[in-house]
Chain A
Amino acid sequence: MRLLGAARYFARTTLPAVAVGAGLIGILGVVIALAGHDAGDALISGAQAAFGSSDALISATLKRATPLMWLGLAVAVAFRAGVLNIGAEGQFLVGAVCASAAGLYLPELPGVGGPLIVLAAGALGGMAWAGSAGWLLRRHGVNEVVSTLLLNLLASQLVGYLVRGPLQEPSRTYPQSSAVPEYFRVPLLLDGYRLHAGFLLAILAAGIIALLTYRHAIGFRWRVVGLGPLAAESAGLIDVGATRVRVLLLSGAFAGIAGAGELAGVTYSLFEGLSPGYGYTAIAVALIARLHPIGLLASAIAFGALGAAGDGMQRNSGVPADLTVVVSAGAILAVLAYPYVRARWAVMNPATDPPATDRAANA
């Protein structure tokens, strides 16, 4: 029975995601063909860029999946508690800024892990950025959607200023910072591949968040605040305002770690294009997985592959990589429309299972 239940669960949760993915790839092919490119060629070169070799799989797909895992966690914990943190992008950038500053200015301390210092700096930066939205929300009732959007815009200007000013490399030629020293770099997992230890840490963090969410009172509070803030408040056991701020801080910390990992594990220096919209893609990552911490690891890898494929298609077939953003957006729209379509389907075909009102993605 248990096995059957597991199979059912798998069918209910994973198959729609797979169907959505297949549908989007189909649409992508049609769009490419309409634009006058050879769709088959382009899709194959995209697939090769994402999965074609161990180097493509590890140094492109999984490397890109790593920040998406951390950012997906950031979005998932916030959305789960009904906190609409659209600011993962900005928290990511500030995390990277703090990691860069820590790596460039802090002394090397023997016996203490340099990468840990840098990642902690990133987490603090992300928390501070998210925390200011939390403070505005709690103290002044400012909608977190508005404040986090503004903080995103502010963060990208902050990076632009720093890489032309205080953090610019000594020759002052390029708008970027110097590379952080060896001691502070997050170690690579495999020789010759550009995948850093943050990948494994993300899996660990996802496991912890999954346990908290589904097996611990802390996660119960998150879920209750997300599902019914009024009920949580009137029951009197949960401080809704404080829970929201704490969730926002945790979310910011994850996003900050994502930025710090990208800086200290991939690029080593700070520059303006550090994030190709990872913070927004992460919303798709989290929603496709219905905010499930383990599920989003898989969807992060899928979106990592999509990004790598987009780059490959642009390089080899001249198909714009921006189409992958359209695919991500299409994925979100499909997930949003899915419960409605399923309910309609059930009404028209009464023989099939009655639809469970699954509003997790909409909660």
Chain B
Amino acid sequence: MRAAVPLGLAAMGELVVQRAGVINIGIEGILAVGALVAYVVAESFGPGVAMGAGAAVGIVVSAVFAVLVVRVRAHQVIAGTAIAMLGLGLSAAGHRLLDHSGPAVSTITAVDVPLLADLPVLGRVLFAQQWPFYVMVAGLGVVAWTLRRTTLGVVLRACGDAPAAVRGAGRSIDAVRAGAIMFGGACAGAAGAFLVVGQAGVFVEGMSAGRGFIAIAIVALGRWSVPGVAIATVIFGLASSLQFAVQALGATVPYNLVLGAPYALTLLLLPLTRGAGSSPRVLGSHGE
């Protein structure tokens, strides 16, 4: 479940962004920057502040993306690629320039939920986790509720499905999309921060390891719905935990095959889940 937290956070943000009709493949870079900033901040201020710092820097970087796609009307995928490169390059170069090969920072400890944690099997899995896990679960609930039950949710979905209707209702597509993009950036930045202060305790170049791209695959695999995204996240989380289990059993199965299997599986599952729900109609366009 620990492996699922960064994926779930990033995918939750990307889900909101895509429901507003924008695809942001730059979250890979935002993850990397969030991780580096969290590492630097955690040394002096502890892991809690570091998570917040990761989210804050995620908002800043995604604001650049928002200006480009919303204001300048640049191509979303190309702008996203540039943001991904920018984030990966900045975090790697920044890490070297800071010469910050310092000691491991303290990580977030797990919190047992009283009583529930004692339930057999599921108790440990669901109720003895680090706090960002609970935030993620609550966040998914809030996102599901907002999308389904609130005016904001209806407008946001309309930005992705029927932009003309949004304009007709006298609302600003640009404002909604910019907000969604920055929410997605905050989630991705926090996901990157969790890699450091929730898992590794140090920053390693390239530690985002394609998780931003996997989050995009998770959103597609989950058919742009909150329950779907939650299920796909658990599958990916289990798959990445499996690699440690395999290593523990001894190197009978090649490591890279275990790492590659989820990607191959996703490619095979994407066509199969097609009937379960549809993508936002104007995903990737300016909605004009």
Contacts and interface: CB of A to CB of B under 8 A. Distances in A.
A336 B73 CA distance: 9
B216 A146 contact: yes
B260 A157 contact: yes
A358 to B, nearest CB: 13
Nearest to A151: B267
Given A320-B93, A322-B93, A340 B85 contact: no
B263 interface: yes
Contact of A332 (B82, B92, B284): B82
A153 B271 CA distance: 19
Contact of A140 (B25, B64, B270): B270
B217 A146 contact: yes
A86 interface: yes
Contacts of B284: 145
Nearest to B85: A329
A158 interface: yes
Interface string B83-103: 111101110110011000000
B96 A326 contact: no
B266 interface: yes
B86 A322 contact: no
A283 B220 contact: no
Nearest to A343: B72
Contact of B260 (A149, A154, A322): A154
Q: Which of B79, B82, B96, B220 has the most CB of A within 10 A?
A: B82
B217 A150 contact: yes
Interface string A132-167: 100010011111011101111110011011001100
Nearest to B89: A325
B interface majority secondary structure: helix
B77 A140 contact: no
Interface residues of B, number: 47
Contact of B85 (A139, A145, A325): A325
Contact of B78 (A322, A323, A332): A332
Contacts of A145: 23, 25, 77, 216, 284
Nearest to B72: A340
B279 interface: yes
Contacts of A161: 254, 256-257, 260
A313 to B, nearest CB: 11
A330 interface: yes
B213 interface: yes
Contacts of A333: 64, 68, 79, 82, 86
B82 A157 contact: no
A230 to B, nearest CB: 12
Contact of B254 (A36, A84, A165): A165
Interface of A: 35-36, 84, 86, 132, 136, 139-143, 145-147, 149-154, 157-158, 160-161, 164-165, 277, 280, 283-284, 287, 320, 322-326, 328-330, 332-333, 336-337, 339-340, 361-363
5 contacts: A149-B216, A164-B254, A326-B89, A337-B74, A362-B75
